[in-house]
């Protein structure tokens, strides 16, 4: 029998991987996990500094989630929600999400991934504007460095070149505006407040240039994740929302990473004062144990859709596995554990420990900026600290530091030269210290 590595190289088509180099470098085989740590084939342990892909909030080996899945699998392993069929796990989960999310008169539409929920949001917005007799109001604005997924429409929304180059993307009707990264994009002499105002003015200019009657929605992650953990200035979203309201442009909050405590409150929208018309969640919803995502839609968005679907005869959208009963049961148990263990309180206590540790790294010669909030953060590596000069991309400094950190037993992810931290929300102070200590060794070696 071939080894796992051999079979992987022979047959597994890897996402987000340098496919040309993969046959030589091979895979990293993870066998199991426990708490905030995962283990490789050789038994070496790693602190998972990114909670897998920003998702495993409760860490590995949470037996209650295993039990919830097993129980639901025995009872009703599959049923769907088409043609008004329903089951208790999806219904109760919808009820809970509608109660938790800062979205008025919410209705919840389930899918299996963040990409699917964001893609569905675009479809609903288009469907709604057709229903309202505004067939030209269809353009969607996202931000440079945004990450909203990889379907044809959401990869077009995503503002990262790697997701579009070679794929014939973006599709039309998708626009981008500047991101709220003050340290990188602020102009000489500009305060953070002035920078936030400038971003809002740029958005207004874009809407006016395109024609307000053609612009339907604005997508935003409260904290941009895959774009390099970009925390907006305090007043940014208030200014942006004033522009959106003025031109009747809907706000979609992509809470796929920031949902369920990551920024210290239940949703990033609450931390940064967003009042979204639609919200998407995934990842932390089930602590990553099973695929499930949700699109939470305000009543005023739902009503015209309901009327239109009534006329057509049926709402022509839905995924076979959307609201899967086993995923929904695991999500319900996840939400129960968040409440019982006061995960928000824990993030409130432990988040500052991570943030202080990251800010301390700013003394390091390679670190230009350390940033973050709650249990999400990043350090951005620079060639020249004073001038904030980026490294030559060919050096792939971020990837090199991440590889060194991995050798020291901590798994992180480089977004260009920004290295992201988003550990499981259950992480302890001792594990944060250990993670940052191991990371500092990697930085010293790369210097």
Give the interface size with ligand PLP as a residue count (CB under 6 A).
Answer: 15
Interface with ligand PLP includes 221 (CB under 6 A)? yes
Question: Which stretch in 96-104, 145-153, 186-194, 371-379 sits in contact with ligand PLP by CB under 6 A?
Answer: 145-153
Interface with ligand PLP includes 149 (CB under 6 A)? yes
Question: Which stretch in 111-119, 159-167, 348-356, 365-373 sits in contact with ligand PLP by CB under 6 A?
Answer: 111-119
13 backbone φψ class: left, alpha, beta (φ>0; ψ -120 to 50): beta
- Give the pair of three-digit tokens for residue 221: 């992650």
What are the start-end ranges of the E strands in 17-157? 30-34, 37-40, 45-48, 107-111, 139-143
- Give the pair of three-digit tokens for residue 2: 């071939």
200-211 b/e with 16+ CB inside 10 Å = b? beebbebbeeee
Q: How far is the CB of 53 from ligand PLP (least distance, A)?
A: 6
Interface with ligand PLP includes 227 (CB under 6 A)? no
State which residue has the least CB distance to ligand PLP.
114
Residue closer to ligand PLP by CB (options 224, 367) is 224
Say if residue 170 is preceded by a cis peptide, omega within 30 of 0: yes
* CA 139 – CA 121 distance, rounded (Å): 13
Ranges within 309-348 binding ligand PLP (CB under 6 A): none
Residue closer to ligand PLP by CB (options 253, 326) is 253
Interface with ligand PLP includes 372 (CB under 6 A)? no
Q: What angle do helix axes 429-446 and 397-407 make, rounded to 10 degrees?
A: 120
Residue closer to ligand PLP by CB (options 51, 131) is 51
Counting DSSP H helices and E strands in the chain, the numbers are 16, 15
* CA 226 – CA 379 distance, rounded (Å): 13
Residue closer to ligand PLP by CB (options 138, 283) is 283
Interface with ligand PLP includes 49 (CB under 6 A)? no
Residue closer to ligand PLP by CB (options 53, 169) is 53
Phi, psi of 38 (to 5 degrees): -120, 160
Q: How far is the CB of 120 from ligand PLP (least distance, A)?
A: 12
Q: E strand or H helix at 107, and its extent?
A: strand 107-111
In the complex, which residues of this chain contact ligand PLP (CB under 6 A)? 53, 113-115, 118, 147-149, 221, 225-226, 254, 256-257, 282
């Amino acid at each position: 029998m071939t080894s796992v590595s051999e079979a992987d190289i022979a047959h597994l088509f890897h996402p987000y991987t340098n496919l040309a180099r993969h046959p030589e470098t091979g895979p990293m085989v993870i066998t199991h996990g426990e708490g905030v740590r995962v283990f490789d084939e050789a038994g070496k342990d790693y602190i998972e500094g990114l909670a897998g892909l920003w998702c495993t909030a409760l860490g590995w080996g949470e037996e209650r989630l295993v039990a919830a899945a097993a129980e639901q699998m025995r009872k009703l392993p599959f049923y769907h929600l088409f043609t008004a069929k329903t089951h208790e796990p999806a219904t109760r989960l919808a009820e809970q999400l509608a109660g938790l999310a800062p979205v008025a008169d919410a209705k919840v539409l389930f899918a299996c991934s963040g990409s699917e929920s964001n893609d569905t949001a675009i479809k609903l917005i288009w469907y709604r504007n057709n229903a309202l007799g505004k067939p030209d109001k269809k353009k969607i604005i996202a931000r440079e460095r945004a990450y909203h997924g990889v379907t044809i429409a959401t990869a077009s929304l995503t503002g990262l070149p790697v997701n579009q180059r070679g794929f014939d993307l973006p599709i039309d009707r998708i626009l981008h505006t500047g991101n709220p990264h003050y340290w990188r994009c602020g102009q000489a002499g500009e305060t953070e407040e002035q920078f936030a105002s400038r971003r809002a003015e740029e958005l207004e200019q874009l809407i006016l240039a395109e024609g307000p009657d053609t612009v339907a929605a604005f997508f935003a992650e409260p904290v941009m994740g895959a774009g390099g953990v970009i925390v907006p200035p305090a007043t940014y979203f208030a200014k942006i929302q004033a522009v959106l309201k003025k031109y009747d442009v809907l706000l979609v909050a992509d809470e796929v990473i920031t949902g369920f405590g990551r920024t210290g409150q239940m949703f990033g929208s609450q931390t940064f004062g967003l009042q979204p018309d639609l919200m998407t969640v995934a990842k932390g919803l089930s602590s990553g144990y099973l695929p499930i995502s949700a699109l939470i839609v305000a009543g005023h968005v739902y009503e015209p859709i309901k009327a239109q679907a009534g006329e057509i005869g049926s709402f022509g959208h839905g995924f076979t596995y959307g609201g899967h009963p086993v995923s929904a049961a695991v999500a319900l148990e996840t939400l129960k554990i968040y409440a019982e263990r006061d995960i928000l309180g824990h993030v409130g206590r432990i988040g500052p420990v991570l943030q202080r540790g990251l800010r301390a790294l700013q003394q390091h010669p390679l670190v230009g900026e350390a940033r973050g909030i709650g249990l999400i953060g990043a350090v951005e590596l620079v060639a020249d600290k004073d001038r904030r000069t980026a490294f030559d991309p060919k050096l792939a400094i971020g990837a090199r530091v991440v590889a060194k950190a991995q050798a020291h037993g901590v798994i992180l992810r480089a977004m260009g030269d920004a290295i992201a931290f988003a550990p499981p929300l259950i992480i302890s102070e001792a594990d944060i210290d250990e993670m940052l200590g191991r990371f500092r060794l990697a930085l010293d070696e790369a210097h």
